[in-house]
């Protein structure tokens, strides 16, 4: 399978402009690591729940693995899946593959047979890295089950295993070669530049099977540089990373940003709010980027008699807009910390965000504005920009955009407006100052009797209700009106008896239009989410459709 090249996505003039403005640079990932090795070789760069690596240790181990993989037969352009939890080995593998010019295909550790087979087959992966076991799941066993479906896959490399394997199941330790940096570099050759394919990140799967977004190192690093500048990241910062490193948020903010800035990073194996607060204190973490639900859960778990998060200076909430009540609570619980909103996509890293020097109300009322030198528009169905204040599709154009959806040329072409902006499929409104508020999904609206109803307002209002812990509103089929609104709700402790009448009365008291009221309430223990914390509304829509189709007892 032939992958897109940078010149397939960007014109020669655009590429020249990206370099002239410093958005793209000549540095590779390995170059950045070498620079830190020269400046602070023995400083700890990355830690997880049990292990740690200095900059020098990361360089040496990654180079040793790159040499071992080269001897095995891996070459530039080969695709390699990496399905690991937030372990330091992920960074070693990432750097090793980048040094060889092989293309990493990260896979969420929560994915199982169907998703793994689909992603591995779509990417035509030649090699797979995976854990021997995580949360009692047998990953090598799963790969053994799907091997016959993946003719391109030659071997599975097991991380943190018992050291037993055969020709097609390899212990990662057996691949790491003890070699000095000069000899290793000579053996594997020069490598590839920053405009060659670097990673294929698959979208988090809120709608059916995910799409593979092909990025170069420059399209990824551009976003990392801008974010690091905006947050003022220095060598004194410690990034806290509970988001999966096998997705865009974790890869960019827990690995690439701190590597560029020479700061430290602590990644958390599995998110649990009380343990997360403990690790923030233990490692002196200062900045984090994760799903909005993570912040909400941390606030719920915080006990001033037990926890100390005073080292935190910035908490960036992404993946879903931040309800105003969450920001207000955070200002009370963490008064020295700024809570900023960020709206990003796997396709282009970051679309809009609030900066530390923005007025605090901006994170209450918006998801930020376009990053420097990037363009964001709100467009209609034909791709034309709509007037400020009018709702439309949030579209992006700039130096962070992927090259293509792998093996999906039609879907790739459909993304773009006539002037080259990439449609997100997210509804939003832009104010006169360029700040954007994401209001919902273009495919996540309730169309009731022909009227398009964005559910975001309802969800925001209900989030502030004292009896509501989590909430999501989706469309449910209705024979007469086409769709009606169904509210899935996780109640707070002691409020399990909340009723639909309670919900609608509360919403009417808040001044909401009657047509927007939910017409059904489903009480659940939890909402289905992706590993990045996004609520899987397609799952909820399927659940309510199936429930409504059941015969009435």
Encode pLDDT of 398-419 as tens digits: 999 999 999 999 999 999 999 9
Residues 112-155 pLDDT 10s: 888 899 999 999 999 999 999 999 999 999 999 999 999 999 99
Residues 505-533 pLDDT 10s: 999 898 787 888 999 999 999 999 877 77
Q: Is residue 143 classed as helix, strand or coil in its secondary structure?
A: helix
Q: Which CATH number fits domain 28-193: 3.40.50.980, 1.20.810.10, 1.20.1740.10, 3.40.50.620?
A: 3.40.50.980
5: alpha, beta or left, given left = phi > 0 and alpha = psi -120 to 50? beta
Q: What is the pLDDT of residue 333?
A: 87
Q: Cα 469 to chain center, whole Å?
A: 23
pLDDT category of residue 453 using cuts at 50, 70 and 90: confident
DSSP 251: I
CATH for the stretch 218-441? 3.40.50.12780
Token pair 């330790």 is found at: 173
Q: Cα 310 to chain center, whole Å?
A: 26
What is the torsional sign of CA 541, 206, 458, 387?
Answer: negative
Scored b (16 or more CB within 10 A) or e, 137-173 reads eebbebbeebbeebeebbbbbbbbbeeebeeebbbbe
Instruction: Tell me which H or E stretch contains 239.
Output: strand 238-241
Which tokens hold the place of 90? 């992920």
pLDDT category of residue 166 using cuts at 50, 70 and 90: low
Is 47's pLDDT higher than 90? yes
Is 538's pLDDT higher than 50? yes
Q: Which residues make Cβ contacts (< 8 Å) with residue 420, sequence separation at least 6?
A: 397
The ranges of the chain annotated as CATH 3.40.50.12780 are 218-441
Most confident of 108-112, 243-247, 316-320: 243-247
pTM: 0.85
Q: Which residues make Cβ contacts (< 8 Å) with residue 36, sequence separation at least 6?
A: 45, 55, 259, 262
Residues 51-70 pLDDT 10s: 999 999 999 999 999 999 99
The ranges of the chain annotated as CATH 3.30.300.30 are 445-549
At the second CATH level, the architecture of 445-549 is: 2-Layer Sandwich (3.30)
Report long-range pairs for 16-24 (Cβ below 8 Å, ≥24 apart): 18/218, 18/222, 18/399, 21/373, 22/225, 23/218, 23/222, 23/225, 23/226, 23/373, 23/398, 23/399, 24/194, 24/195, 24/218, 24/221, 24/222, 24/399
pLDDT category of residue 206 using cuts at 50, 70 and 90: very low
**Do 177 and 184 touch, CB atoms closer than 8 A?**
yes
| Rounded Cα–Cα distance for residues 518 and 501 (Å) | 10
| Rounded Cα–Cα distance for residues 27 and 33 (Å) | 10
Q: What is the pLDDT of residue 207?
A: 46
**Do 201 and 212 touch, CB atoms closer than 8 A?**
yes
Q: What share of the chain is helix, strand, coil (3-state, %, to 5)?
A: 35, 25, 40
The ranges of the chain annotated as CATH 3.40.50.980 are 28-193
| Rounded Cα–Cα distance for residues 285 and 355 (Å) | 19
- Rounded to 5°, the CA angle 380-385-391 comes to 55
């Amino acid at each position: 399978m032939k992958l897109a090249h940078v010149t397939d996505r960007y014109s020669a003039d655009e590429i020249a402009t990206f370099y002239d403005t410093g958005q793209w640079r000549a540095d590779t990932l390995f170059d950045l690591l070498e620079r830190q090795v020269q400046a602070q070789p023995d400083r700890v760069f990355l830690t997880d729940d049990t292990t740690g690596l200095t900059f020098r240790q990361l360089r040496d181990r990654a180079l040793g693995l790159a040499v071992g993989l080269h001897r095995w037969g891996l070459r530039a352009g080969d695709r390699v899946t990496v399905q690991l939890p937030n372990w330091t080995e992920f960074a070693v593998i990432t750097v090793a593959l980048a040094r060889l010019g092989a293309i990493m295909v990260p896979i969420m550790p929560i994915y199982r047979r169907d998703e793994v087979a689909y992603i591995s087959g779509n990417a035509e992966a030649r090699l797979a890295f995976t854990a021997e076991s995580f949360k009692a799941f047998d990953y090598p066993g799963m790969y053994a089950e799907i091997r016959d479906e993946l003719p391109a896959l030659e071997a599975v490399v097991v991380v943190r295993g018992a050291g037993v394997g055969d020709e097609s199941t390899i212990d990662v330790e057996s691949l790491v070669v003890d070699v000095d940096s000069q000899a290793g570099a000579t053996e594997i050759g020069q490598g590839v530049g920053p405009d060659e394919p670097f990673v294929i990140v698959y979208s988090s799967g809120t709608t059916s099977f995910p799409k593979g977004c092909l990025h170069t190192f420059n399209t990824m690093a551009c976003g990392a540089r801008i974010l690091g500048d905006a947050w003022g990241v220095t060598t004194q910062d410690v990034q806290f990373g509970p988001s999966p490193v096998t997705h865009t948020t974790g890869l960019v903010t827990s690995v690439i940003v701190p590597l560029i800035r020479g700061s430290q990073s602590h990644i958390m194996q599995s998110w649990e709010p009380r343990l997360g607060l403990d690790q923030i204190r233990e490692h002196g973490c200062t900045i984090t980027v994760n799903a909005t639900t993570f912040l909400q859960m941390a606030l719920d778990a915080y006990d001033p008699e037990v926890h100390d998060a005073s080292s935190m200076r910035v908490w960036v909430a992404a993946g879903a807009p931040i309800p105003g009540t969450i920001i207000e609570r955070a200002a009370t619980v963490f008064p020295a910390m700024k809570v900023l909103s960020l709206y990003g996509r796997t396709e282009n890293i970051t679309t809009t965000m609030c900066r530390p020097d923005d007025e605090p109300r901006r994170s209450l009322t918006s998801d930020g504005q376009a990053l420097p030198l990037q363009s964001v528009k709100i467009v209609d169905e034909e791709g034309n920009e709509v007037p400020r204040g009018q709702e439309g599709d949030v579209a992006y154009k700039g130096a962070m955009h992927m090259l293509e959806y792998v093996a999906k040329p039609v879907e790739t072409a459909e993304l773009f407006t006539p002037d080259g902006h990439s449609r997100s499929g997210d509804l939003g409104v832009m104010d006169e100052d360029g700040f954007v508020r994401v209001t919902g999904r273009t495919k996540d609206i309730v169309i009731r009797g022909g009227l398009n109803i964005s559910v975001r307002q309802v969800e925001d209002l209900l989030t502030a209700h004292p009896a509501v812990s989590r909430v999501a509103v989706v469309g449910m089929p209705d024979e007469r009106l086409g769709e009606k609104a169904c509210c899935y709700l996780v109640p707070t402790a002691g409020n399990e008896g909340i009723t639909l009448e309670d919900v609608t009365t509360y919403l009417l008291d808040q001044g909401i239009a009657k047509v927007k009221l939910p017409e059904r309430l489903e009480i659940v223990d939890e909402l289905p989410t992706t590993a990045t914390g996004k609520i899987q509304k397609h799952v909820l829509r399927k659940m309510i459709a199936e429930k409504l189709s059941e015969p009435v007892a």
